[in-house]
Structure 1
Amino acid sequence: MPDWLQIILRTFIAVTSLFIATKFLGKRQVSQLSFFEYITGISIGSIVAYTSLELQQKWYLGVVSLAVWVAIAFGMEMIQLKSKRLRTLIDGKETVLIKHGKILEENLKKERLTTDELLEQLRKKNVFLVSDVEFAMIEPSGDINVLLKKENQPLTPKHLGIKVGPEEEPQAVIMDGKILDEPLTKLGLNRDWLKTELEKIGVTSENVFLGQVDSYGQLYVDLYDDQIQVPQPQEKASLLATLKKCEADMEMFGLSTNHSDAKAMYEQCSRQLQKVIEDVKPLLIR
């Protein structure tokens, strides 16, 4: 068999083996790899390259070596899942670098981090003052996570005592100008509903690069032509405003009438509608 054909066959076998191995071991981002996993990845890649090009050696020996590496890596993962002590031994543990706004210099030296590198990582988290940080720690993966002091944390609806409705994953119903039926069905919608919504904003599906529907049934579109401004959905805000107007009208009717029974009826209806508004408001505020 010619050498070039052997290389093609060996490469095909090596790539197939590598694909199976990586699927078997699972997937992680490079930044999440432990030292052992990083070394395993390099070794497996080297074995695959060697198997592809070394014609003097039998190809199946490379596959055997690859299988052994994969078995060891998988075994280590299983052991780590069951033993916290071994996880700490193999992957290491997190180290606190900043505590109550103060840099822990000894821990910084232990992790072989310079002050410049620490400040760089903080800036990546949009933190520019060390004194703003309550805690910062470096994870075994090398990532630095930061907890800001209470007064420096972003304001959320929870801080204001406001309840908001739950958010679910938006569904892409139009992609590259084509309507996707499966996401529509998942939302309990159909093409007729989608065409009606598109008519409201004056576009056709062919002009839509991406169309998404949120968990409240509101359609958001991105057009091929970026110069065209598409109005944002206002159904929820409009519904909330209408309910508030009805509640205000009930109060006004109650104040304007002199009939005691009518006044009592309007006041009762106003209170009931106010309770309805309080119940649905979290769903209508994003």
Structure 2
Amino acid sequence: MPEWLLIGARSILFAGVLFAITKLIGKKQISELSFFEYVSGITIGSIAGEIIMGLDNHWASGILSILIFGLVTLFADILSLKSKSFRDFFEGKGTIFIKDGKILEDNLKKERYSIDDLSSLLRQKNVFKTADVEFAVLEPRGDLSIMLKKENQPLTAKDLQLNLPQEKEPQTVIMDGKILNDPLAESGKSRKWLDMEIEKMGLTIDNIFLGQIDSYGELSVDIFDDSLKVPAPQQRPLLMAMIKKCAADLEVFSLQTDSKKAQQMYEKNTLKLNQIVQKLSPYLK
């Protein structure tokens, strides 16, 4: 058999073996690695490369070595889930670099980090002054987690005591001009509703590259022709405008009537509608 054909066959075989081992170990193997996972990954790749390009036909030995390293890594992951002491040894523990706003120089030296290294990690978190940090810890996988001082933390809706609606993940109901039935059912919408919404936009299914339904039940689309503008959903603004118009009409009616009883009724319902507008404003903006 020609050598190029042999290398091609080996490559296909070991690509399948490495894929199977990676699926067996799990997604941790393709995320940020621990020390052992890093060494194991390099070794598995080296074995596969040596067998693919080597002249010796030890295919079985190479596959066995890869399986052993893969299974040892899997066993170590399982054991780390059951034992904290083993997990601390296997994956390592976090090292505190900043505590109560003060840099712990001894911990920096222990991990062989300079102040420049720390400043670089902070800048990656968009922090440019160590004085802004209340707490920072170097995670076992090399990331720096920080907590800013209270006065430097961004304001949240909770801080402002704002009542905001809960958001859910949007459902992708159209992709590459094709309707996805399962996400459409998950969003609680029908095919007929989707066809009507697309017709309102003056489009057809074939024109739509991506279509999503948000937690408010509104459809937003991206079309293949980027030069065309698609109107934004108007259901919520229109509903808000209609409620405000009803409140304004009732207020006008209260001023035009001569009946004291009718005037009180109009004013009462105007107040109710204004309260509804205030409560729904976060949802209908």
The aligned counterpart of 1:207 is 207
SS in 2 for 1:142: coil
- The Cα of 1:59 is off from its aligned counterpart by 1.7
Aligned to 2:149: 149
Question: Is it true that 1:21 corresponds to 2:3 in the alignment?
Answer: no
SS for the counterpart of 1:126 is: coil
For residues 120 and 187 of structure 1, the distance between their equivalents in structure 2, rounded to whole angstroms, comes to 44
Equivalent position of 1:176 in the other structure: 176
Q: Any idea what the Cα deviations from partners look like across 1:51-74, whole Å, max 9, x if unmatched?
A: 323343532122222221122111
Residues 36-51 of structure 1 aligned to structure 2 (within 5 Å): 36-51=36-51
User: How big is the shift at 1:242?
Assistant: 2.8
2:159 partner SS = coil
Query: Using a 3 Å threshold, how does the CA distance of structure 1 residues 130 and 31 change in structure 2: closer, same or farther?
Result: farther
Question: What are the equivalent positions in structure 2 for 1:176-255 lying under 5 Å apart?
Answer: 176-250=176-250, 253-254=253-254
Partner of 1:62: 62
CA drift of 1:159 comes to 1.6
> How far apart are 1:217 and its partner, in Å?
1.6
Match of residue 81 from structure 1: 81
Match of 1:106 in 2: 106
Give, in whole Å, the separation in 1 of the partners of 2:87 and 2:207: 52
2:28 partner SS = coil
Count of paired positions: 285
* C-alpha separation in 2, matches of 1:251 and 1:10: 82
- Given that 1:31 and 1:142 are in contact with CA atoms closer than 8 Å, whether structure 2 keeps it comes out as no
Change (3 A) 1:93 1:252: farther
Q: Whole-Å Cα distance in 1 between the matches of residues 100 and 241 of structure 2?
A: 45
CA gap 1:114/1:262 in 2 versus in 1, 3 angstroms? same
> Offset of 1:83 from its aligned partner?
1.0
Q: Distance in 2 between matches of 1:200 and 1:118?
A: 55
- Are the aligned partners of 2:34 and 2:140 in contact in 1 as well (CA < 8 Å)? yes
CA-based RMSD of the aligned residues comes to 2.8
Evaluate the alpha carbon distance shift between residue 13 and residue 117 of structure 1 in structure 2; reply closer, same or farther with a 3 A threshold.
same
Give the CA deviation at 1:175: 2.6
Contact map agreement 1:165 1:284 (CA 8 A) in 2 = no
TM-score by length of 1: 0.85
CA contact (8 A) 2:164 2:283 kept: yes
TM-score, normalising length from structure 2? 0.85
For 2:145 and 2:152, locate their aligned partners in 1 and report how far apart those are by CA, in whole Å.
15
